[in-house]
Amino acid sequence: MRNLPVSLWIGGALVGVIALAALVSLVWTPQDFATVAVSERFQPPSARYWLGTDQLGRDVLTQLMVGARNSLTIALVAVGLGGALGTALGLLAGAKGGWTEEIVLRLADFSFAFPALLFAIMLAAAFGPSFANAVVAIAFINIPVFVRVSCASARQVWQRDYVLAARASARGGLAITRDHVLPNIAAIVIVQATIDFAGAILIEAALSYLGLGVQPPEPSWGRMLSEAQTLLFLAPQLTVLPGLCIVATVLGFNLLGDGLRDLADPRREKAR
């Protein structure tokens, strides 16, 4: 492919590997993720346990694969929900302007003022730790970014002559938003979603680390980290491996987002 940004390739490859592992875990895992076999604990890598076992004799590779699935699912649903709601609000504010815009943007500013992670922890703690509540918490803190991004871009599109032309041919606000504004801000919103995906993975890991995210026996990278930290000197790979997965995923989505942004907006293209 000609002239695709390098970051797009690296990001795409990292995300691709993780996503593939998550997809494969749906149909096959080396071992059952919930099976505890204390007699098999702290096994080194072998033909049976490719990455060895943990302190409860669970297969590490299986845990990582299912953890990838859980992380990606939470991030996907949360960013999808938050992005959809935020974009809808942003489009509304961009279309209406005036007081509607003021109120929506000030609310977005207001929720921006809270540190995202603390806010997610607060929500998850208030509504009880669970998969669904982690999704809701992460979705919620994603709303304001999408409001801002989509409102700002929507306002630019509303200034365009083709919107004036659409009004001159008697299109209403809803039709213009659907047919003209949304398609023209889609690229920006998708880039934003990709970058926010990385943040969502990180927050999910943090929630799970604190026991507020994915609940046992479902594995999660964050909880693998917290469970293994007391064994840091005994079995460092139990900490390093999930940590590497988190790093790779976050880095992958960030690079992918950067690459997509360069692709969508050639003016921001830097020397590669």
Partner 1 sequence: MYKIRNLSLSFDGHEAVRSASFDIPRGARLGLVGESGCGKSITALALLGMAPASARVSGSIEIDGQEMAAAPERLWRSYRARKVAMVFQEPLSALNPLKRVGDIIAEPMRLHLRLDRRAARARARDLLVEVGIPDPEARLDQYPHQLSGGQRQRVLIAAALSCDPQLLVADEPTTALDAHVAGRILDLLKRLSETRDMALVFISHDLEAVARVTEEMLVMYGGDIVERGPTAQLLADPRHPYTKGLIEARPRLDALTLRADGAPRPRLASIPGSVPALADLPKGCRFAGRCPIERPACAGLRPAVSVLGPGQRQVRCLAPLLPAKVPA
Question: Which residues are at the interface with partner 1 (CB under 8 A)?
Answer: 97, 160-162, 164-172, 175, 179-180, 183-184
Of 180 and 261, nearer to partner 1 (C-beta) is 180
Contact predicate 62/90, CB 8 Å? no
In whole angstroms, how close is the CB of 153 to partner 1 at the nearest point? 14
CA angle, 143 then 75 then 224, to 5°: 135
Of 181 and 228, nearer to partner 1 (C-beta) is 181
Which runs of consecutive H residues, i.e. helices, occur in the chain?
6-27, 60-96, 98-112, 116-127, 131-158, 161-168, 173-176, 182-209, 221-228, 237-264
Of 126 and 168, nearer to partner 1 (C-beta) is 168
Of 1 and 168, nearer to partner 1 (C-beta) is 168
How far is Cα 167 from Cα 52, in angstroms, rounded to an integer? 65
The residue written with tokens 């830097």 in the block is 270
In whole angstroms, how close is the CB of 175 to partner 1 at the nearest point? 8
Report helix, strand or coil for 59: strand
In whole angstroms, how close is the CB of 159 to partner 1 at the nearest point? 10
In whole angstroms, how close is the CB of 98 to partner 1 at the nearest point? 8
In whole angstroms, how close is the CB of 132 to partner 1 at the nearest point? 37
Dihedral sign from CA coordinates of 121, 189, 113, 254: positive
Contact predicate 169/183, CB 8 Å? no
Of 102 and 179, nearer to partner 1 (C-beta) is 179
Helix (H) or strand (E) holding 45: none
Q: Which residues, in sequence order, are CB contacts of 85 under 8 Å at separation 6+?
A: 139, 143, 146
Of 115 and 172, nearer to partner 1 (C-beta) is 172
In whole angstroms, how close is the CB of 94 to partner 1 at the nearest point? 14
Query: Over the Cα atoms of the chain, what is R_g?
Result: 22
Q: How many CB atoms lie within 10 A of CB 211?
A: 15
Of 79 and 95, nearer to partner 1 (C-beta) is 95
In whole angstroms, how close is the CB of 164 to partner 1 at the nearest point? 7
In whole angstroms, how close is the CB of 22 to partner 1 at the nearest point? 33
How does DSSP assign 88-135, residue by residue? HHHHHHHHH-HHHHHHHHHHHHHHHTS-HHHHHHHHHHHH-S-HHHHH
Of 38 and 170, nearer to partner 1 (C-beta) is 170
- Residue 215 per-residue DSSP state: P
